Amino acid sequence: MSRMLLALAGAAMITTGVVAQKAALKLEPIERQMPAYIQERLSAEDRVLFDKLMRVGLESAWSLVTAEGYPQNFINELTPLKSNMRMVGRARTMRYLPNRKDVREKLYSAGPQLNYKSAEEAQPGDVLVFDAGGETRAGVSGGVTTVRFLVRGGAGLVIDGAMRDVPELEAMPIQTYMRRGHASSVSPIMMSVDYQVPVRIGSVTVIPGDILVGDTTGILVIPAAIAEKVADTALEHDDQEDFQRQLLLKGESIYDVYPMNAATRKRYEEYRKQKR
């Protein structure tokens, strides 16, 4: 369980006293755990970073990514297949375009389609990112290929388009973001064109190596160079927000607490000292 939720649970208990014999607010914990299978396969550095990003508040992280000069880096046009699963991983990108014989023949004589290639070459903690331009009349990949990706330690799928085998994807221990499902293979409509290039997902540019953090709110795209800084600073901010939640659950006024006035800030500094 994330620290934030523990704090909420604690606050709820305190609240019980306040509201006397009445029913207490009960806020259910949010599970934010990386699947063990993936976690164990990560590099040591990634394990530390990804663990922080599993717990971080998406909103505080967004504020920091924006402050670093990336205000357009949030994807909310796709739907996650599962509502209670956070995704953290590193972008491996592909770009699909509508079919045309000349381009297709050249590309496919040069090597395998990119859903195969990306599944085969995936590193633990990778997220496959398919830019299909929002096309939903064919799936860009499906269940069997994703089994290979899973075995390689794949951490998620992000498709600006459609996927096949949706129930099989739902049964897998990773998150999938997409527009719709479709039983059609990609071939009648599209072809994979570019591998590991900048792509557009919703209204965001994703480049290879970006760190993606997603939940039901959407997906934050963090440039790799600032991911650690964002994670650390956001967790500090989350800690403060957890404190604020506690005060609110005790019945204090939002005007004193969020944002904090001078008195509340002083109490927060006390609380921080005691925690250390």
- The correct pick among 42, 53, 61, 211 for binding a copy of itself (CB under 8 A) is 61
The SS3 call for residue 38 is helix
| Distance (Å, whole) CA 226 – CA 241 | 22
Position 140, amino acid:
V
- The correct pick among 203, 263, 266, 269 for binding a copy of itself (CB under 8 A) is 203
DSSP code of 132?
-
Q: Which of 64, 3, 39 is nearest to 229 (CA)?
A: 64
- The correct pick among 33, 43, 72, 261 for binding a copy of itself (CB under 8 A) is 72
113 binds a copy of itself (CB under 8 A): no
Binding part of the chain for a copy of itself, among 42-50, 136-144, 229-237, 264-272 by CB under 8 A, reads 136-144
From the number of C-beta atoms within 10 Å of its C-beta (0-12, 13-18, 19+), residue 255 rates as exposed
217 binds a copy of itself (CB under 8 A): yes
9 binds a copy of itself (CB under 8 A): no
Range 171-190, binding a copy of itself (CB under 8 A)? 171-173, 180-185, 188-189
148 binds a copy of itself (CB under 8 A): yes
- The correct pick among 17, 23, 45, 275 for binding a copy of itself (CB under 8 A) is 23
Give least dist CB 172 to a copy of itself, A: 6
44 binds a copy of itself (CB under 8 A): no
- The separation between the first and the last C-alpha atoms of the chain, rounded to the nearest angstrom, is 20
Contacts 24+ apart (CB under 8 A), 107-113: 107/191, 107/192, 107/193, 108/191, 113/186, 113/191, 113/192
228 binds a copy of itself (CB under 8 A): no
Q: What interhelical angle do 44-55 and 227-249 show, nearest 10?
A: 30
| Distance (Å, whole) CA 202 – CA 259 | 32
Range 88-107, binding a copy of itself (CB under 8 A)? 97-103
Tokens of 231: 């994670």
- Residues 103, 97 contacting (CB under 8 angstroms): yes
Range 232-261, binding a copy of itself (CB under 8 A)? 241, 244-245, 248-249, 251, 253-255, 257-258
Binding part of the chain for a copy of itself, among 36-44, 48-56, 228-236, 264-272 by CB under 8 A, reads 36-44
- The correct pick among 145, 175, 176, 196 for binding a copy of itself (CB under 8 A) is 145
Which of left, alpha, beta for 165 (phi over 0: left; psi -120 to 50: alpha)? Answer: left
Position 106, amino acid:
K
- The correct pick among 10, 14, 16, 37 for binding a copy of itself (CB under 8 A) is 37
Nearer to a copy of itself, 205 or 233 (CB): 205
Give least dist CB 252 to a copy of itself, A: 9
Nearer to a copy of itself, 48 or 187 (CB): 187
